[in-house]
Structures are given as C-alpha cells and as structure tokens.
Copies of this chain bind each other. A is one copy, B any other.
Amino acid sequence: MDQRIRQSFGKQGMMQTLGAKVTSIREGQVIITAPIQPLASQQHGFAHAGMVFALGDSAAGYSALTVMPEDAEVLTAEMKINLVAPSNGQRLVATGEVVKPGRRLVVTRATVETEYADGTRKVVAILQGTMVPVT
C-alpha cells in the first residue's frame, strides 16, 4: 500500500512543485506536509487557498486509496473546503481520512493545519468530499 501511494505521489508534478511529502500512511488515513513558500503564496505571503486545497484534497484522495483494491486508482469527484484561518505558519500538515468506504464512492474528510516555528499548530481548513475508484 505504502509503495503504491508513494509511486503515484512521486508522479504528481504539483506535489513536487509544492515540496510536499507523504509523512504517514495508515489504513483509512494519510498525512501530507509541505513548507509554506513564496512560490505558493497569496498576496500577503500566506499559503494560497489553492495550495491548502491541493494538500487537503490529496491527503483525502490517498486515504481513500488505502481502502481500495490493489489495482485501482482514485479521482476526486467533488470536494468542499471551508477556510477558517490564514495559513501564516511555516508549513502545512494535511490529514485525510475515510468516513465511508464504498465500491463506487468513498466519502472522505481532511483537516489542514498550519505549523509555527515553535511546533504549535492551528487548523486552517476542513474539507469534505467524494472519491471514485477508476480501474
């Protein structure tokens, strides 16, 4: 499972550009982290909503992959994000989890936190959405 996720992840140009890494893989839960850098900022230097979404969505998608058959891939059918605070820390930590597995649809959630220099964290976004397996 780990290898399958890391291979897929390694082929995503977007994740490489963002400097993102998969830091935890468990059945039903995947964590992705990335540094907050100028290349993915909004106009105040915080992480752009597009980066926050990309990490949360990917963490949710890979969490869905952990509950799918070996040969499946996963696509986001839809995703909803509520942005609740500015991403003004040093890095982002996105935790995706499966709420409801299914053969045709997998419902997921994700939480994205920003981490400060002292190691403390603050929730910046919550996501809820649907993944579909493709074979």
Contact = CB atoms under 8 A, between A and B. Distances in A.
Count of identical protomers in the assembly: 4
Contacts of A54: 48-51, 53-54
Contacts of A83: 75-78
A84 B58 contact: no
A12 interface: yes
Contacts of A105: 77, 132
A62 to B, nearest CB: 11
A14 B16 CA distance: 14
B51 A57 contact: no
B104 A126 contact: no
11 contacts: A13-B41, A13-B42, A14-B51, A49-B76, A50-B53, A53-B54, A78-B81, A78-B82, A79-B81, A82-B128, A84-B99
A105 B8 CA distance: 24
A38 interface: yes
Contacts of A17: 17, 39-40
A26 interface: no
Nearest to A58: B50
Interface string A79-101: 11111110000000000000110
